[in-house]
């Protein structure tokens, strides 16, 4: 059984369902990917590396992870902190507006409270948000861990998921994003992220920036243009089907990544994996919230067998 560890922050998600009503669930970029990876490749061992509080919401998150069959052996407790929280409102086009409360998030202390680093794993996944929420000392610890894992043969996977409010300035973000890219075997750059952070206006700009880092597999999500892939076999553009019934794009990229990795770890090639990831994302964005009901996905997609 292949072992995957995904590192990051899971938050309480409050979705506005009307002018007066909110729906509570749990979500976060890396957690969303963990869920969609496990759902589509149930034969994998998927663990989530994070820190949570000792409050009732943290306990509910642990239960939710169990329901998704995500291993919690890498979930640590931080007694003086709790889960971060965000609220999202979605307009008629599926575009989102967020409000965050994460100053006391336990996940920001994960590397400080971690007592046993992941070992003997096949894939380690993290994002720009995973890095941004840490202080400098913990960021250095993270990259020491990544170097150790990579030396042991673990694949490192990175998605920039650039969020300006989490960084002091663009220069700081660029420094740590580039360091992350340099550590990655597989990267999921997004066109919007690179436009906002680097000023890259097209796929050629993005790929030119990433080429010196020696990333083995670049999977660029570029909206309706399609998925641009570069690996040792060459360059590929995988078209994506337009979704007309867009309800909520909150977890589109996260769902794509989960589906893509589920396919890759099940032996599919890069173009097959991109098509599968796009299909998963296309289903997810037709429903509200980051994590859609498992039954909805199960009725639309056949998961990979172990």
Q: Which amino acids are annotated catalytic?
A: 254
Query: Which strands, in side-by-side order, build the sheet including 11-16?
Result: 22-27, 11-16, 85-90, 96-101
Residues 157, 127 contacting (CB under 8 angstroms): no
| Residue written as token pair 């994002």 | 127
User: Which secondary-structure segment (H or E) carries 51?
Assistant: strand 45-52
Where would I find the H helices in the chain?
A: 29-40, 56-67, 110-113, 128-132, 136-151, 170-183, 191-198, 203-210, 252-264, 270-284, 294-300
Beta bridge partners of 125: 6, 157
* Contacts (Cβ under 8 Å, ≥6 apart) of 142: 7, 111, 126, 130, 131, 134
Separation between Cα atoms, residue 156 and residue 168, nearest integer Å: 26
Q: DSSP class of residue 304?
A: P
- Map residue 242 onto helix, strand or coil: coil
Q: How far is CA 213 from the centre of its chain?
A: 21
């Amino acid at each position: 059984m292949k072992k995957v560890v995904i590192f990051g922050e899971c938050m309480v998600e409050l979705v506005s369902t009307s002018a007066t009503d909110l729906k509570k669930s749990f979500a976060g970029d890396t957690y969303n990917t963990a869920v969609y990876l496990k759902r589509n490749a149930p034969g994998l061992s998927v663990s989530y590396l994070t820190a949570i509080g000792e409050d009732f919401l943290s306990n509910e998150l642990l239960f939710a992870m169990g329901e998704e069959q995500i291993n919690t052996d890498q979930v640590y407790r931080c007694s003086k902190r709790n889960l971060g929280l965000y609220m999202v409102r979605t307009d008629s086009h599926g575009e989102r507006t967020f409000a965050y409360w994460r100053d006391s998030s336990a996940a920001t202390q994960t590397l400080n409270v971690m007592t046993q680093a992941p070992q003997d794993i096949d894939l380690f996944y993290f994002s720009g948000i995973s890095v941004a929420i840490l202080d400098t000392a913990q960021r250095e610890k993270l990259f020491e861990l990544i170097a150790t894992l990579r030396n042991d043969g673990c694949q490192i996977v990175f998605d920039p998921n650039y969020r300006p409010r989490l960084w002091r300035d663009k220069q700081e973000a660029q420094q740590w994003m580039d360091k992350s890219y340099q550590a990655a075997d597989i990267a999921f750059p997004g066109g919007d992220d690179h436009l906002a952070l680097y000023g890259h206006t097209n796929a050629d700009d993005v790929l030119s920036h990433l080429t010196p880092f020696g990333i083995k597999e670049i999977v660029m999500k570029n909206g309706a243009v399609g998925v641009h892939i570069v690996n040792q076999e060459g360059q590929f553009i995988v078209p994506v089907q337009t979704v007309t019934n867009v309800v909520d794009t909150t977890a589109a990229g996260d769902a794509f990544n989960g589906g893509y990795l589920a396919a890759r770890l099940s032996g599919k090639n890069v173009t097959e994996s991109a098509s599968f990831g796009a299909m998963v994302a296309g289903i997810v964005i037709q429903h509200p919230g980051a994590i859609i009901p498992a039954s909805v996905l199960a009725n639309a997609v056949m998961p990979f067998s172990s």
